[in-house]
Amino acid sequence: MSNVAADPETAEEDRLNRAFAALSDPLRRKLVARLAQGDATVNELAEPFSVTLQAISKHLRVLEDAGLITRSRDAQRRPCHLDSQALGRLTAWLEGYRQAAEERYSRLDALLASQEDPS
Amino acid sequence: MSNVAADPETAEEDRLNRAFAALSDPLRRKLVARLAQGDATVNELAEPFSVTLQAISKHLRVLEDAGLITRSRDAQRRPCHLDSQALGRLTAWLEGYRQAAEERYSRLDALLASQEDPS
DNA sequence: AACTTGATCAACTAAGCAGTTGAATACATC
DNA sequence: GATGTATTCAACTGCTTAGTTGATCAAGTT
């Protein structure tokens, strides 16, 4: 039942799986948005929403398992902290392919332009 | 049964839902990676994988519904094209919060440094 | 020790999704 | 018009997940 991949290559895959899946839920994205403003406890995070505290707790677990947040301890409280580096890894993945695609298109555009005007 | 949100605010939400969900699948990420190299047909995209063509077709539909790819027509073929702008919108979302978080931390670091060394 | 607050665990339900097989559609060629 | 090729549709199965309620644990308060 271990969800943790052994092989480091699939481990990175797994981390991307979880991170993107975590961000596919609008409530979890709102939690991320809130945490970007500063650390917060489960109760604080739950306050604006009309779902149960347990639901929020589960969402935070998903974010934690995805490596997007970390949690510490302050008496009974479990403050959540957004890991900006984790967000950075996602943008790095996206940007790699976006730039590759965009470069190709601009080369294609240049080719087409030279075809139209073969001075 | 319409999956398209009416209100423009939830429409953007919906687009993010679908885009992040689409990228949470490793096979779909591989399709994106392949398409970053250049447009391709369903058969070409399916070739490296051991799943059925129908499965690939479904994955492409998910990517299309998420706005990550567009599709044209060439006789029976349906070539797929990666929409780099869609990837850009995702990085924009991520970067907004990453930078906000990082800025806060650097301010906090500065504060702590000044506390340690109140010259 | 009893009580309150903060958070999680456990069990369940309803919904969604990745994959399959088999049938159907759309276009191109013979 | 029959055949082959590229792709999608339809129906089904197994697994995962968001949400709920009720119980439990952990730490501070009286």
Both structure tokens of A10: 């699939």
Q: Could you tell me where the beta strands, DSSP code E, fall in chain B?
A: 69-71, 80-82
Q: How far is CA B36 from CA A18, A58, A70, B81, in A?
A: 22, 35, 33, 8
3-state secondary structure of A110: helix
Q: Give the percent of chain A with pLDDT over 70.
A: 91
Helix or strand holding residue A92 (H, E): helix A84-116
- Whether B56 maps to a domain, the answer reads yes
Residues facing B82 on adjacent strands: B69
Q: How far is CA B23 from CA A10, A22, A56, B87, in A?
A: 15, 11, 23, 10
The whole-angstrom separation of Cα B72 and Cα B20 is 23
- Whether B22 maps to a domain, the answer reads yes
- Whether B40 maps to a domain, the answer reads yes
Residue B2's pLDDT band (boundaries 50, 70, 90)?
very low
- Residue B113 is predicted with a pLDDT of 77
- Whether A63 maps to a domain, the answer reads yes
Interface residue B35 vs chain A (CB under 8 A) = yes
Interface residue B119 vs chain A (CB under 8 A) = no
- Residue A2 is predicted with a pLDDT of 43
> Who contacts B99 (Cβ-Cβ below 8 Å, separation ≥6)?
none
Both structure tokens of A110: 């240049």
- Whether A3 maps to a domain, the answer reads no
Which tens digit of pLDDT belongs to each residue from A25-66? 999 999 999 999 999 999 999 999 999 999 999 999 999 999
Residues facing B80 on adjacent strands: B40, B71
How high does pLDDT run on average in chain A?
A: 90
* Closest among B89, B107, B20, B91 to A38, alpha carbons compared: B107
Measured from the CB, is B111 under 7 Å from any atom of strand C?
A: no
* CB-proximal positions of chain C, under 7 Å: 5-10, 17-23, 26-28
- Whether A21 maps to a domain, the answer reads yes
Which tens digit of pLDDT belongs to each residue from B42-92? 999 999 999 999 999 999 999 999 999 999 999 999 999 999 999 999 999
Which tens digit of pLDDT belongs to each residue from A75-88? 999 999 999 999 99
Both structure tokens of B80: 């797929």
Domain limits for position A88: 8-116
How many separate domains does chain A show? 1
- Whether B1 maps to a domain, the answer reads no
Task: Give the nucleotide nearest to A62 (CA→C1').
Answer: D17
Q: Do B84 and A91 touch (CB under 8 A)?
A: no
Domain harbouring B49, CATH code: 1.10.10.10
3-state secondary structure of A26: helix
The alpha-carbon gap from A101 to the nearest alpha carbon of chain B, in Å, equals 5
Measured from the CB, is B34 under 7 Å from any atom of strand D?
A: no
Residue A117's pLDDT band (boundaries 50, 70, 90)?
low
- Name residue, tokens 């993945």: A93
Q: Which among A17, A24, A38 is the nearest to B26, CB-wise?
A: A17
Interface residue A29 vs chain B (CB under 8 A) = yes
CA→C1' distance for B111 and C14 (Å): 50
- Whether A81 maps to a domain, the answer reads yes
